[in-house]
Structure formats: structure tokens, C-alpha cells
Structure 1
Amino acid sequence: MLTIIFFFFIAIVVIQLSYYLGIFAKFSFAKPQNFTSKKISVSVIVCAKNEEENVKKYIPILAEQNYPDFEIVLIDDASSDETLEVFEEFEKTYPNIRLVKVKNNEAFWGNKKYALTLGIKAAKKEYLLFTDADCYPTSNEWITAMTSQFTMNKTIVLGYGGYEKIEHSFINKIIRFETVLTALQYFSWAKIGNPYMGVGRNLAYKKEEFFNVNGFIKHIQVRSGDDDLFINEAANAHNTTISFTPESFTYSKPKETYKEWFNQKRRHVSTAKFYKMFDQIQLGIFYCSQFLFLLLAIILFAFQFQWMIVLPLFLLRYLASWLVVGFSAKKFQEKDLTIWFPVLEIVLIFTQINIFITNIFSKPVHWK
């Protein structure tokens, strides 16, 4: 039995190295990216539901972007707080703000995709740039940096949406590490020609891409996925690129407790079962191989079976993954996470297992 486990461990190490060195390294070791303004007309789209305090802080930051031709489409998705009133004040203050008021629709009640569809249709510009109501860009060059990656062929741009750093908070490190690892994956797969997801905190595409796939119609009844399910359907090797200059980043306030973050990740993970089959398989193999690498290594070390071979393979995998994740974290300006990599990875592995099991027995709560 130990012999079988030993050879299985070798296979798992090969799989892990294939991911880290064969795929993720394409982004991790990529040259720095530059940007220059394309001066195209842009609609920045923000959908909000009961986000009164956040929109007060962040919409002025969007309105003050250093860009010659843009509008901001503010979508109030039937908020029960003062979000709509705040939006109406902004509409009076800024001439380039367009307001879309969404009333509850019986067929699409509580569905963010319905609200976004109305906002996209109301947008006057051909290029759309999305962020969430609780997000803010890192600089006033955000629109320039994101839209600079558009070309005649590249009509979808995937950006990085990070979370604020909280000093002396371990849960904050876990949240930011998971965000870095997720971005590393979808940036790397996009770079090798198989884009499979993006995040609504920072995403851009030409309006025609939305109508080419009939918007969100194929997954309109799925409460989440206005970002990743849309990209999974619409993006391909020819029309998709990435933006990873620091000026193109957005940030949002992270959850402060493990329970809050756990429930948030449950919602995110629940959409993966609607991805294309290849994407489900590649994600499944990666996360399963992560867990099996750790489990099989513990078994082999416990019995000291072929430890002179197991130990170098164990260290090789950790060295490769540490370097790849470390260089990516530096690109995302999260290099403080690098030293914590082994611990954070272990915590994240068991959290993902917990999320998978929990989602089997109960459904996560989505946009209300």
C-alpha cells in the first residue's frame, strides 16, 4: 500500500509542478505591463443595493478619474436604504453621471443580472468598465490603465480586484492570499489562451460582447455569476487580455471575521459548477492535487517510506509554488504574504474542503 501511495505522490507532485511552472509561471514571470491612453469613450457601471455608506465614499473617487471621455452609470437595484437618494444627489452634482432606477421584478426579484442588464442597455458608450459599489480604484488613472489594454481584437479586459490590508489580522492575510491565488489562476489561464473567469470588482468589455452572447440569459436564474459566468461564456483566446499595472487595481474592504468570509466564498464557489466542463476539470484537478499532495506527504513522512526521495520532491514542489506565488504577490502589491505562504496555503486547503462539503448540504445566500 505504501508503494502505491508513493507513486501516487510522485504523480501528484508532477501535476502540481505542471500547474505552477507550466501555467501559472506564464503570468508570474511576465514582464511588467505599460499603459497609454486609448482615449476611447467609456461607461463605468456600478450596481448597488443597500450600499448607502459605500457609495457616499467611493462614487466621488470614480467621478474624479483623469480621463477625457467617460460617463458613470449608477444602478440602484431597488434599495431599501438611502442609496437611491445619494445617487440622485450625485446625478445633480456630476454632469457625466447617469442614473438607472430598478424596481423589483417578480420574475427576476433580487437578481443582480437583471439590474446590470438595464444599466448596460442604458450606457451610451461602447466600452464598459465595471466595479462594485464597495470598491474603489487605486489611482485616478484606473480608467486609462484598464482601457489601454483594449485593441481591435481584444474586447474583454480582466483586472485585479484586491482587498485592503488590515495590520495584525490573520484572517485578512487568508482573504488576501486567496484573492492572489485566484487572480494568479485566471490571469495565467487567460495568458495562455483559455480565459475562464473574471471578477466584477474590476472588469471591462465592449458592449457588443454582451449582446453577442445574449447577455446573462443562459444563466439568468443563477443568482451569482454576473462576472465569472459571463466571462466563462463570452471570453476566448482571441478577444480577451489582462491588465495588471498597479494603476489598474481596485480595492474593497474585506470581511473581518472568518464566518463572514466563509459565507462569501460559499457564494463564489457555488457558481463554478456552471463553468465549461474543461474549466471545472482543471480547477478540480488543481485543488484536489493540492490536498492530496499534503495528505500523501504526511503519510509517507509518518512511515518514513522512501523519505530520501519524498523529501526532495516535497521541497521542490514548495520551492516552485513559493516562487511563483511570491512573484505574483509582488505584482499584485501583496508581497507581505509571501513569507506566510505555507501556513496560508494549508489553512486555505482545509477551508475549501469545508466550503465544498457545506455547499453540498445547504445553499449559500446571494444578492438580496
Structure 2
Amino acid sequence: MSEHEEEKQVIVNEVQGQGESVFVCTANRDFAAYAQEELRRLFGSVKSSVLSDREVLLVKLNTTEEEAVRQIVDSRPIFLRHIQPVHFEREGENAGELLAEAASFVLGSGKLGAGVKVALQVRKSADADSDSSSQLKEWLEELLRSSEAEFVAAGADWIVSIYLTGSALYAGISRPENNLSDWSGGAVRFRREEGQLSRAKFKLLEAEREFGLDFSAYRSAVDIGAAPGGWTSLLLERGLRVTAVDPAKLHPSLLKLPNLTYIRKNAGEIKFRDNEFDLLVCDMSWSPKLMVQLVTGLLHALSPGGTAIITIKLMHKKPMALIKEVIASFEDSRLQVQRAKQLFHNREEITLYMIKY
């Protein structure tokens, strides 16, 4: 081993002992405790500390990084949104000095080079008294430019992750698929369109991406609780025939579109034909119990093999028990749950992706 490689190994060992791994873990705001519980159920004892109030944790696991990543990715966690390994850690308050040290570590890793595509993801906690994350990212790119790597926003071979607090910096290098999300911190960003009806559209866009769906492959959808029409508008854009159901008003811009049928009633009052739709979506602020009753009462209208995308509101302090109960109820009603996930655009809710069998 060369002198440079020995130095690099010493740095890594400062953070991770043999058979141990360290991660910066991120969940939606106020849900970090449930992400921590998911890790505890996977690994038993979990050492953690809060890096940013209510959403970012520093977690130490008594297993190798490779095994930890495998278990986390395979478990498809609901609340754990993003992980980054920690290979380099430095305490201090001078962001410039910390970033320069982290850049030296990254350059010494041997992973960057000509033709290698690299995404730089820099985040900071609220107490980090420094430049903005975007400015720090630009600075890091300059520090790493000698590597001759190609810096990209998507399609990277490697992600270099930096998390900066008011007293320390944490850095890691990983494959995109090993971070749970290839977006920085799992924060999926969509550009707001002119005339967009509601922010809720982003939830369905993210669900399409997260669950590997292509809504344009469906033919006919029913949108339960459609008003003002964010989800309906996306499905119409994808070329589906959409039946939008809500006693409230849809946005006027949708009403003359040729593939839209608007029924201004409560969904429970309508009699649909059997197997009328191959997609059922629902994003309503109802209690989970009422939501399950409503959706299961409409399942005759969803064809076998059809897809259901449902948001479930987490209305009390035991969300994991509630989710287990809701999933059991749906699976008793011929819906097989493929994924349950708290998306970045979810708030006090999760999204279920289900297929009727």
C-alpha cells in the first residue's frame, strides 16, 4: 500500500471501525423518529444523534457499510427517505477549511477521474453559519476540478455527499442506487408550471417516478376527491380518459377538455360499471378508516391487474401501527400493496401503490 493509500485508510478508519458503518439519514420533517425506528427494527441496536431538528440523523450501525446498504435498500423503508455514507468527518466551524479538507479526501479516494460522471450534493443544517448550499457546491466543484471528472446533475457514476453543520462536516462517496434516492437528501424537486392547479400534482409526479410507473400506459382513470384537479390534470396530460369525482368544484380550465368526465357528487353515491377503470387514484383529507371503506367500496370498478395510488393521512401518534392496519385492510379486499412510502411531497401522510388481483 502506498503512503497516500495508507493516509486515506487512516481517514476512513477515523469514522468507521471494522464491522461498523456511519450514515447521515434523512426523513420528512417531524418523521425522523419513525425512520430511526425502521432502522432499529432492521439492525437492533442503533446509535444516533440529531444533526438537524426533526429530519436529519447521524446513525452508527454495527455492520459493514455494504451489508447495511443492502438491508436498508431491500427493506424499502417507508419513512427513511435518503442515506449517505460517512467516510470522512471533521469537527470545526470554518466551512471553507472543512470543505477543502473534504475535497482532499475525495480527490484521494481514487474514484474520480477523466470520463467519470459525478454528482455533487451539498447540504447544510440551519445552524451552519456559512454560504448557501448552492454556493458551497460551486466551491466544492472548483476544488475537485483537477480530477477531470464530469460533474452532472443526473446519471452519475458516483455521488459525493457533503453534510455541513455548525460544528462539523460529514462526507461520503457512493453509488446513486445506494442512497435510496439520487436527489440530494431525497428532496425531489419539480419545476412549478405556469397555471398549475395545485401543489398536489407534485405528489403524483413523484409517485410515478418513485414507483417506476408510466401513467401514459393506462387507458382510463377515476380520480376520487379530485378538486381542484391537480391529479386529474396530470392524468389528462398523460393522455388518459379521466373520471373526476368530487362534490367541490374542479378548476374551470379543466372542464372543456375532451377526455374528462366530471361527476359532482360524493364517490360513495355513484354506481360505476365493473372493471371500468385500470387506474384509481385518491388524495383526500379523510380519516384512514373512512378512506379504506370508500376505496374498497369502489374496487369492483377497477379491473384485475389495475393500479391504485392512494394517500393515507397519519392522524394520530402511532403511524406504524396505523399503516400496518390499513395495509391489512386493503389486502383483505383484493389489493396487493406494492410499496408504501412517505414521499418528499407528502406531509402528514404516506402514499400507497397497490395492484388489484
Instruction: Name the TM tier (shorter chain).
Output: under 0.3
TM-score for the superposition, normalised by structure 2: 0.24
TM-score for the superposition, normalised by structure 1: 0.24
More helix by share: 1
More strand by share: 2
